[in-house]
Structure 1
Amino acid sequence: SLSGERPGGGVEGDLDMDSVSPSDSEFDDVLEINPFDGLPYSSRFYTLLKERTDLPVWKAKSYFMDCLSSNQFVIVSGSAKTGRSSQIPQWCTELSLAERYDRGMVVCTETSGQQAVDLALRVADEMDVNIGHEVGYSVPQETCCSGDTVLRFCTDSMLLREMKADPQLRRYGVVVVDQAHQRTLATDLLLGLLRDVGRRRPELRMVLLTSSHPGPRLLGHYHAGSTPSSVVGPHIQLESPAGGEVVFSGGGGGGGGDYFCSSVRLVLEIHHSKEEGDVVVFLVTAQELDLACDLLWQEGSSLPPALGQLCPTPVHPGRAGSLPSQPASGGRRVFLTSSPNEDFFWAVGSIKFVIDAGLGERYVYIPRTRTYSAMVQPISRGEAVSRRQLTGPTGKCFCLYPEDRLLPDETHPHILECDITSSVLFLKRMELSGVGPCDFIDRPEPEGLMQALEELDYLAALDDDGNLSEMGIIMSEFPLDPQMAKTLLASCEFDCVDEVVTIAAMLTAPSCFRAPSVGLRADPSCRSLMKFQHPAGDHFTLINVFKAFQQNCRVEEWCEANHLSLSALRSADRLRDELIHILRRTELPISTATFGCRSNTLNIKRALLAGFFMQVAQETDGSGNYLILTNKHVAQIHPLSGYGARTPKLGLPQWVLFHHFSFWEDNCLRTVTRIAPEEFIEMVPQYFFYNLPLSGSKEFLQDLLNHGSPHSPGRETASLEEEQQADTRCVVQ
């Protein structure tokens, strides 16, 4: 049924679906001329229109248009196959067209860049217009829009970046926020800011789309008593299509690893049954996706040809890439994912089987140690229902957990469990634009907020009054985390901009290195990686890789031969161009590349220390154990680091700067570069140094600071001499 919650607490009764369902006469009234581009409709438009009218959301079109005309906020809930994500933005555009775009165009946000692109392509096809003209999209490092664009799909993070220049979103008359139930950090920030924008712009219309019934906190955010009645809008619950058969399991999915073996076994049993249809398997970790893919490829290669090809494909959350095409007749696609975004598979009409472990991996940020810890917990009730509905009425969902398991009502908001330093920098920037305080659905934890403010203060992004400094304002211009943004600004002072921009792009884009599948030394990807290694450290290795990528004309064959990801390197290339553009726009100096000379190596390390002085460790016992200065935790260098793969005679660096510490996975320091303690003392803010916990490393540095004593001789000195001799090497050709 369809119900609407009216302002003032009243609830409208069930709406008769038959009264708003399309009839044959609807097609007689369709205009022959497309009002969006002034051209005659193609025959494909009418074919797609018939398909659209069969979607459950179509029955609510008239009611939705009435709600949107008379309310500022409207919430629409419906599963992936109701058509809400593709149809609602079109109807909002129709309303804007009827008003001659007096209020502005329409923007629809997605949590995934790939889904924003897919939806834009689908909607442009349904509206019978060209992509990039009337319908466009904007995702990180890629924009396909024009001056004619009236409907734009983008990620929620892209719209937040746009708000820096246009805080009130004056370009838009309707803002559609899809996947609001996922409660990502960017989505929560956007929802909090939109409430203030709505107060300042009563003519702005906002639509929230969720795949499941929104929880009480999300609903309460727009129905609070302090909110003007003009801002409160109805909640429209769409009739979801019937799901298929659901089979629950008493074993597996209970926190152990049984669900993994059960999932692989079920896929093979389904394939042996010869029943048609693709399979989606919801596992927990990225490692499980890759392992399951390898196992299914091995098993599939030994199956009789009569069963057809088995095509397993890992779909990693947040990674770019399109879904594979349908295999030859008799073949079956198996999508292995841990993504909470079930709507990613909305365009796959051939899914007949879903295997759900019922668990999800969450990463909880620990401010005290400045690192993440992994937690495996049950998914929410709404996620479980959405996954079951992917099969359609004729499919089957295997839930690898008991039917009586208690699932959480809502997805846990990411803002309560992630590092919010970048978000605090963004909100400080928005305050300068006159935007009121962000009206959070769930306020960040005080400990995380204090840590974020402290880190920004260490980076000189705040002044004595806690407002953004000039440094902080410039840092907020870059689509980088604050530490990397500070490093990039420091490179302008140390004349190493070209090299540091490359490092920033390579570390911000997805990793270009393909993970080895077997023993580290024997794996071809590890041997290929060693060709690019630079003796100064992994940051310099990234420069080698990128320069070699440029010199080899960015060809796929070269990437395959060197076990590198072409899509990741292209993403880094685009991001590098974007960073250079921002540097020029802000009139910052861009030095000439001098990579390879000794002074350039030292300057790159100084720039890195300017931003990442909080991520320094000292080797303690000669066996590869490193004490992290900020929290006294002991970790090791990752085996795939240049130092981790070095021969024993070269030894390990005594002092290192690291980019990432993966405590939850392998307790390893990743992307490591050798530094000297004198370099650290030179670049570290004094008040940060004195706030470090007591340790032997701090005492050593204090003595060095007081007396200028040289650091310990031995293997460190020998390694530095070798590094200096290698500084004049050419990059890998």
Structure 2
Amino acid sequence: MAQDITSLSGEDFFEGKSACCSDTDALSQGDKEYDDILELNQFDGLPYSSRFYKLLKERKELPVWTAKSEFMDTLAKGQFVIVSGSAKTGRSSQIPEWCAEFCLSVQFQHGTVVCTQIHAQQAVDLALRVADEMDVNIGHEVGYSIPLETCCAHDTVLRYCTDNMLLREMMSDPLLERYSVVVVDQAHQRTVATDLLQGLLKDITLQRPELRVVLLTAVDPSPKQLAHFTGSTVPLIHLESLGAGEVVHSSTGDSYFCASLRLVLEIHRSEERGDVVVFLVTTQEIDLALDILCNEGHSLPPDLGELLPIAVHPSQPGTLPVLGEMETCRTRRVFLTSSPNEDFFWAVSSISFVVDAGLEKRYVYNPRIRTNSVMIQPISAGQAKSRKQLACPTGKCFCLYPEDRQLPEEIRLHIAESDITSTVLFLKRMEIAGLGHCDFIDRPDPEGLMQALEELDYLAALDNDGNLSEMGIIMSEFPLEPQMAKTLLASCEFDCVSEVVIIAAMLTAPTCFMLPSVDLKPEAAPCQMKFQHPEGDHFTLINIFKAFKQCQQDPYCNVEKWCQDFCLNHTALLMADTLHTEFTDILKRIELPVSVPAFGSRTNTINIKRALLAGFFMQVARDVDGSGNYFILTHKHVAQIHPLSGYGAKSPKLQLPEWVLFNEHSFSEDNCLRTVTHITPEEFIQMAPQYFFYNLPPSESKDILQNILDGAAQHCQEKKPPTSGEEPQEDQTYDRCVIQ
């Protein structure tokens, strides 16, 4: 039946009647007006609703619609196709729908359709819109899967999901045998996950000739990306956009932030109706702009209408507003966002103005110091073009940079700038699953790859042959960074699973601490000090989570108000609660023991630190002068404890410890250690692998540790020698962790 598609135009294929309605032509003239009522939905067999026809009319006006026949022909004839078009061409909604029609035409004999997105919120929004357009129920014929939430059924024919969710699915279904078409949206962003997917799909298509792969991009792909799959040029369908509005360039020097806000206010005073999108650089700028525009909006004349600023943070779950159309024309929305989020505005046709700073913030991982550096860089030429196309043909795009500025031609590759330790762990797992090769479009940085292998070796995730060990296999089951996964497994040995699962959930979710406005900062510290634990921030997180759960169980406690009173993020705590359940379920599924809670006892405190050190022994620092200057053992950098830490707040209850374990070193932003806990050098020596300790660079801190280690060895030698036939006993104080 696949050949039948090629003989139909896109419109005929979509609107073809079912067999039971083929005799409608025989109806009398008076019955012609009921033809639409008799037309049945291909996917659920029910008559189409009136809303279906209303949306169909809107869909036919999208630029992508003119390419339907060409796309269906290409999909039927070959394995690969790339569709290039900006956010408002309709590519992310229409192409997956047509893929579902293609699968329906061959009776789903090779599977269904999955479409990946970078951000979870966009996967949900698109699934809801497409279900509406296809006139089916969300969660049935059309569904979505995002972290911590699945809305699908056994009869789902089109599923939107995040790219990371599809990668995790491949651990149990390496050849993606349940799918006939895999659509990789936003492939132009070149994230680690999208590059990884494209590399693995090349291998899968060799083993599954019937599988179709569709790449959706906002800009034309590079020649290397075009030639990636087959060694020859992949068919490329280019969608014409509706046309960009007027483009105005201006040079603002370094004051793009103030210039952006002045432009917004000027637009609101003097321009016609229409929403505004402002592309800033950092999250802090977005939040500050939100506060300023809210305050300025109150002083504007009422006859101008309401100015409604909205912060759009796709990387922060639970913070995205609904981006649909406003019912009132008296309100002008100002969407404040950062790069690269052009695709988030696919559903907002009311955008008339775009303000573009022309810069982006990138995290570039340095494997030598095992931390990210923050760089502010110009956006690519493709990104600049995508932003200009957001404005309607009668609108304007204000580019706050000179017209002659030379922008990079291509988007920078995340695979060459990111910590790929988790990626390498996943690829090692895929080797076991049968996919032994990932042909990347661009290879990862060799130094970063070696550092990732070294780290996995330190964590005992690899065996002597460099293959995944039993420990590594279990670590890969958790949607966690390898260090945290190792910590969680170590907690099973040290009988503190209940507490460490809380730590893992709290650190994986967004920070639970609200970042109040400047005038409220003095009030936040005393509120949160109630939860501070003398042993450090990891223990403080346990206190907060337990207090949150206790408030949830109290019928008289208003949880949201409780969070507000203590300057805590209610959404983040809800996510941590969900993650806590997920991690606990995984432990039970793989039959690992979950200990009885014992938080507060001295033994439990020591065991939690041991478990933390089992995973984070590479992140230890020592106060070298007693004033809070912490020397990081692995790369000799000196940093301070973050002010939001219990120690950083310089609370009278907590003295600065000499040795600390930290969760993160924010090197370029503030050079601070975040989420720190007090440890002893003896605990570090006990838990760190010997070969890691010996590979540490020379320093005074290493000499102190070596003296402790030598003293322990001498103490063992001075013990009474064993009698004949007895095995010598090691000093139990310095036994190595069994899990190593």
TM-score (norm 1): 0.90
State whether structure 2 residue 102 is matched by structure 1 residue 98: no
1:405-447 CA distance string (max 9 Å, x none): 1111211110000000000000000001110311001101110
The equivalent of 2:261 in structure 1 is: 264
How far 1:352 moved relative to its partner?
Answer: 1.0
State whether structure 2 residue 344 is matched by structure 1 residue 336: no
State whether structure 2 residue 220 is matched by structure 1 residue 193: no
1:237-269 CA distance string (max 9 Å, x none): 0111111111111x12xxx53111110110111
Indicate which of 694, 698, 719 corresponds to 2:698. Answer: 694
The equivalent of 2:363 in structure 1 is: 363
Indicate which of 274, 288, 291 corresponds to 1:291. Answer: 288
Stretch of structure 1 that moved more, 153-162 or 571-580: 571-580
Give the whole-Å Cα distance in 1 for the aligned partners of 2:137 and 2:14.
28
TM-aligned CA distance change 1:324 to 1:149, over 3 Å = closer
The equivalent of 2:396 in structure 1 is: 396
- What amino acid sits opposite 1:660 in the alignment? E
The equivalent of 1:109 in structure 2 is: 116
- What amino acid sits opposite 1:247 in the alignment? V
Extract unaligned runs of 5+ from structure 1: 1-18, 226-231, 711-733
The equivalent of 1:680 in structure 2 is: 684
Give the whole-Å Cα distance in 1 for the aligned partners of 2:653 and 2:358.
49
The equivalent of 1:503 in structure 2 is: 503
Alignment of 1:538-549 (within 5 A): 538-549=537-548
Give the whole-Å Cα distance in 2 for the aligned partners of 1:589 and 1:45.
52
- What amino acid sits opposite 1:287 in the alignment? Q
Aligned residues: 681
- What amino acid sits opposite 2:313 in the alignment? H
How far 1:314 moved relative to its partner?
Answer: 1.9
Give the whole-Å Cα distance in 1 for the aligned partners of 2:193 and 2:688.
31
Give the whole-Å Cα distance in 2 for the aligned partners of 1:84 and 1:22.
19
Alignment of 1:312-351 (within 5 A): 312-320=309-317, 321-324=319-322, 326=326, 329-351=329-351
The equivalent of 1:138 in structure 2 is: 145
- What amino acid sits opposite 2:242 in the alignment? P
Alignment of 1:24-423 (within 5 A): 32-224=39-231, 233-249=234-250, 251-252=251-252, 257-273=254-270, 275-320=272-317, 321-324=319-322, 326=326, 329-423=329-423
- For the Cα contact (< 8 Å) 1:22–1:53, is it kept in 2? no
- For the Cα contact (< 8 Å) 1:74–1:234, is it kept in 2? yes
How far 1:559 moved relative to its partner?
Answer: 2.0
Indicate which of 598, 603, 606 corresponds to 2:607. Answer: 603
SS of the residue corresponding to residue 133 of structure 1 reads coil
SS of the residue corresponding to residue 657 of structure 1 reads strand
SS of the residue corresponding to residue 406 of structure 1 reads coil
Give the whole-Å Cα distance in 2 for the aligned partners of 1:555 and 1:67.
54
Give the whole-Å Cα distance in 2 for the aligned partners of 1:98 and 1:353.
42
TM-aligned CA distance change 1:260 to 1:625, over 3 Å = same
Stretch of structure 1 that moved more, 387-396 or 31-40: 31-40
Give the whole-Å Cα distance in 1 for the aligned partners of 2:221 and 2:542.
46
- For the Cα contact (< 8 Å) 2:509–2:575, is it kept in 1? yes
The equivalent of 1:475 in structure 2 is: 475
Stretch of structure 1 that moved more, 338-347 or 409-418: 338-347
- What amino acid sits opposite 1:75 in the alignment? I
- For the Cα contact (< 8 Å) 1:21–1:59, is it kept in 2? no
Give the whole-Å Cα distance in 2 for the aligned partners of 1:709 and 1:192.
50
Alignment of 1:9-20 (within 5 A): none
User: Deviating runs (4+, > 6 A) in structure 1?
Assistant: 19-31
- For the Cα contact (< 8 Å) 1:539–1:672, is it kept in 2? yes
The equivalent of 1:425 in structure 2 is: 425
- What amino acid sits opposite 1:158 in the alignment? M
- For the Cα contact (< 8 Å) 1:56–1:238, is it kept in 2? yes
- What amino acid sits opposite 1:461 in the alignment? A
Stretch of structure 1 that moved more, 677-686 or 649-658: 649-658
Give the whole-Å Cα distance in 2 for the aligned partners of 1:36 and 1:548.
48
CA RMSD for the aligned pairs?
Answer: 2.0
Give the whole-Å Cα distance in 2 for the aligned partners of 1:58 and 1:159.
28
The equivalent of 2:721 in structure 1 is: none
Give the whole-Å Cα distance in 2 for the aligned partners of 1:435 and 1:22.
40
TM-score (norm 2): 0.89
Give the whole-Å Cα distance in 1 for the aligned partners of 2:620 and 2:286.
33
How far 1:339 moved relative to its partner?
Answer: 3.0
Stretch of structure 1 that moved more, 694-703 or 311-320: 311-320
SS of the residue corresponding to residue 552 of structure 1 reads helix
TM-aligned CA distance change 1:152 to 1:21, over 3 Å = closer
Give the whole-Å Cα distance in 1 for the aligned partners of 2:487 and 2:358.
41
Give the whole-Å Cα distance in 1 for the aligned partners of 2:183 and 2:38.
26
- For the Cα contact (< 8 Å) 1:539–1:671, is it kept in 2? yes
The equivalent of 1:716 in structure 2 is: none
SS of the residue corresponding to residue 456 of structure 1 reads helix
SS of the residue corresponding to residue 221 of structure 1 reads coil
SS of the residue corresponding to residue 286 of structure 2 reads helix
1:553-597 CA distance string (max 9 Å, x none): 283222222222222112111111111111111110111111111
The equivalent of 1:731 in structure 2 is: none
Indicate which of 624, 634, 639 corresponds to 2:638. Answer: 634
